[in-house]
Structure 1
Amino acid sequence: MDKKIALQGILYDEKSSFLRGTAKAPPQIRAAYHSSSANYFAENGLEADPSVFEDKGDFKPTDYFEIERITASNLEGKQQIISLGGDHSVTYPVLKAIHSVYGQVEILHIDAHGDLYDSFDGDPHSHACPFARIMEDELASRLVQIGIRTLNTHQREQAAKYGVEITEMKDFDLHRLPLFTSPVYLSVDIDALDPAFAPGVSHQEPGGLSTRDLLHIIQAVQVPILGADIVEYNPDRDSNKRTAMVCAKIFREILSAMISNRS
């Protein structure tokens, strides 16, 4: 893989519950990434500057499944891709496009929520449902979730049904992270972080990961990362663009991991 990493912004929050606003996130994450208050270097010393990716721009889908077509176009064959959301519903159509190129992948999903509902508020494509659809369609051979702290009975049943490997936040241990031996897709929901670190989310769930915990998880991935997303940042709920800067930091570390782990 010697192509540049593709970057796309998905201006979409039509599947959100409780609050809208995540469609505004991609431009804010880009602005934080380019902020002169920081630099482009990742913590491993790699300069994750704009030369390492091809920015395809932001896209406002006219319908939900257009996200798959947009992603397929931006993949341009076997190319790594990072998507900036948007609500978490975007992960399902993005994965459909990834699957069309790579086949089944393993997924590392970092989130406060399992997003495994069969249907939520009558919508099987709600942002609370993407991983049920992904596993139902057999787009992934393995789903590993870290940071979960909102499981109800239905989602526990769904996790058992699909064989999801869950590290709930109450059991989280940095020294016992899951290992991967095959290429992965990385999905980062910013509400995985405790609201003290990232207040700019629609669903603030206390008791979460620190920013350092999240960076450590990303840095511990030693296999190729075929694609990734950063979702559920809501600028309307942010404080002094603090969460935007966290997203930009995560973006740099994902870029670095994508480059460093290429096979």
Structure 2
Amino acid sequence: MNPVIHLIGLPTDQNSSFERGAALAPPAIRAALWSDRGNLFAQSGQEIGTDITLKDLGDLPLSDVDCAADDALIIQAVTEAVDEGAIPLFLGGDHAVTYPIVAALAARHGALNILHFDAHPDIYADFEGNPRSHASPFARILEAGHASRIVQVGIRTLNRHCQEQAERYNVEILPMLDFRVAGVPVLHGPLYISIDLDGIDPSEAPGVVHPEPGGLTVREVLSILARQTAHIVGADIVELNPARDVNDVTAIVAAKLVRELSACIHRNNNHQRKERP
């Protein structure tokens, strides 16, 4: 039986710093995903709707002003997906949404292994006085014990504070300096995948608020995903800002990532199911 994937939009950017706009991302990603400009095939040849069961549940009715209330709605969506045996795939929104998602998944699966793509480690104790900042979700996840291992790929803005935080929580950072795809470990499950689009070089994904040159290529991201074999319990794609995009390029990249993450979930979770006695 194929895994069912719940595609859920999170239109919120209340915890963004510097500039808002990520709340407008889910419709932009959907428009690219379902557009006749492309098709629904992943690079493996699997097709959404034929091989891969993807249910688009639309956007959650987030207030975008009450973080606690919005967290509760996100946790409810995760819980409902897990109760149905589905795998949630979320479209942010800013990166702060990863904290309630992981908290809800860890409540059901235990501490997760997390593969995190980003230009920034997002482990500030708090940022600009906001402990729920989009620059802090992994600090909240780690201090709550929701992750047993975090591997961060694409990092190229590691300041002293975040380096200290990484050492404190044993975060495994693979910086872009001397980066090799083969150096990214294959993680065990339960696996959660979080993709901040600014982890990709701005030449390929310009529609982000905090662009940082020298990043990952889309091909490198896809190669890393293709190497992962563990049972995947959830994923997110965050930090698209449509106002910063150029000819919808970043939305198209995000839509590609929806297809590829869906294919990974389909492949990995089917394989894990077949291996169970």
With structure 1 as the length reference, what TM-score do the two structures score? 0.96
2:48 — aligned with what?
A: 48
Gaps spanning 5+ residues in structure 2: where? Answer: 273-277
Deviates further, 98-107 or 185-194: 98-107
Preserved contact between residue 78 and residue 101 of structure 1 (Cα < 8 Å): no
Q: Which residue of 1 aligns with 2:161?
A: 154
Give the corresponding residue for 1:256.
Answer: 263
Q: Which amino acid in structure 2 is aligned with residue 159 of structure 1?
A: A
Counterpart of 2:8 in structure 1 is: 8
Q: Which residue of 1 aligns with 2:175?
A: 168
Alignment partners' CA distance in 2, 1:179 and 1:155? 24
1:230/1:236 Cα in 2 relative to 1: closer, same or farther (>3 Å)?
Answer: same
Q: Is the CA contact 1:12–1:60 (under 8 Å) kept in the aligned structure 2? A: no
Offset at residue 60 of structure 1 (A): 3.3
- 3-state DSSP class of the match of 2:177? helix
Question: In 1, Cα distance between the equivalents of 2:33 and 2:85?
Answer: 25
- Residue 61 of structure 1 corresponds to which residue in structure 2? 62
Match of 1:209 in 2: 216
Is contact 2:9–2:92 with CA below 8 Å preserved after alignment?
yes
Conserved in 2, the CA contact under 8 Å of 1:41 and 1:49? no
**Residue by residue, what CA displacement relative to the aligned partner does 1:177-217 show, whole Å, maximum 9, x if unpaired?**
21213231000000001100000001011110111111111
Amino acid at match of 2:57: K
Partner of 1:23: 23
Identity fraction in percent:
47
Aligned pair 1:241/2:242, yes or no?
A: no
3-state SS of 1:171 partner: coil
State the Cα distance separating 1:3 from its structure 2 match: 4.5
SS class of match (1:114):
coil
Aligned residues of 2:2 and 2:266 also touching (Cα < 8 A): no
CA distance in 2, matches of 1:238, 1:35: 17
Name the aligned partner's letter for residue 19 of structure 1.
Answer: E
Instruction: Pick closer, same or farther for the CA change 1:261–1:3 going to 2, 3 Å.
Output: closer
After the TM superposition, which residues 101-112 of structure 1 pair with which residues of structure 2 at under 5 Å, given as runs?
Answer: 101-112=108-119
Q: Indicate how the Cα distance of structure 1 residues 247 and 121 shifts in structure 2: closer, same or farther if over 3 A, else same.
A: same
Please tell me the root mean square deviation across aligned C-alpha atoms, in Å: 1.4
The worse-fitting range, judged by mean Cα deviation, of 160-169 and 179-188 is 179-188
1:224-239 counterparts in 2 under 5 A?
A: 224-239=231-246
State the partner residue of 1:129. 136
Distance 1:181 1:74, change over 3 A: closer
Q: State the secondary structure of the residue aligned to 1:254.
A: helix
Q: TM-score, normalised by structure 2?
A: 0.91
Match of 1:193 in 2: 200
Task: Indicate if the aligned counterparts of 2:194 and 2:237 stay in contact, CA closer than 8 A.
Answer: yes
Aligned residue pairs, count? 263
User: Over residues 28-52 of structure 1, what are the superposed CA-to-partner deviations in whole Å (9 max), with x where a residue is unaligned?
Assistant: 1011011111111111111123861
1:75 CA displacement: 3.4
Q: Deviations over 1:138-191 (max 9, x none)?
A: 001101100000111110000000000110111310222212132310000000
Q: C-alpha distance in 2, partners of 1:122/1:171?
A: 34
Structure 1: give runs of 5+ residues left out of the alignment: none
**Within the alignment, does 1:113 sit opposite 2:126 as a pair?**
no
Aligned to 1:80, the other structure's residue is in SS state strand
**Which of 82, 93, 114 is the matching residue for 1:86?**
93
Structure 1 segments, 4+ long, off by >3 Å, are none
